[in-house]
Amino acid sequence: DVKVTQSSRYLVKRTGEKVFLECVQDMDHENMFWYRQDPGLGLRLIYFSYDVKMKEKGDIPEGYSVSREKKERFSLILESASTNQTSMYLCAISTLAGPDEQFFGPGTRLTVL
């Protein structure tokens, strides 16, 4: 069974704080993704990475950065959290071979006060 874990299910932070969201996979998959999910807006891609130390901007990268120092770990960083970053954050992984099926983690619901 594919396992994608996210460091927290629920997180509450204050405006201006630096926030780290971690995603860890046990499948040795090359591709890792960070999305945010908001009601009525669906999933929007923030950043993705297809290899260690590689990163690509998605559709809404502003206010976020990422880090991939090891293949199994992909971190999303909010340098200075703002209230409009309150959202559900979903991590996903996929492999380069075959259908690009993505496997998702359970999500982190972040509230910024």
Contact positions vs another protein (CB under 8 A)? 4, 31, 33, 35, 40-43, 45, 48, 50, 56, 58, 90, 92, 99-107
What is the closest distance, in whole angstroms, from the C-beta atom of residue 58 to another protein in the complex? 7
Minimum CB distance to another protein smaller for 28 or for 39: 39
Distance of CA 98 to the CA centre of its chain: 23
Minimum CB distance to another protein smaller for 56 or for 79: 56
Distance CA 4, CA 103 (A): 7
Exposure letters 79-89 (e unless 16+ CB within 10 A, then b): eebeeebbbeb
Residue the block writes with tokens 């509230």? 111
What is the closest distance, in whole angstroms, from the C-beta atom of residue 108 to another protein in the complex? 10
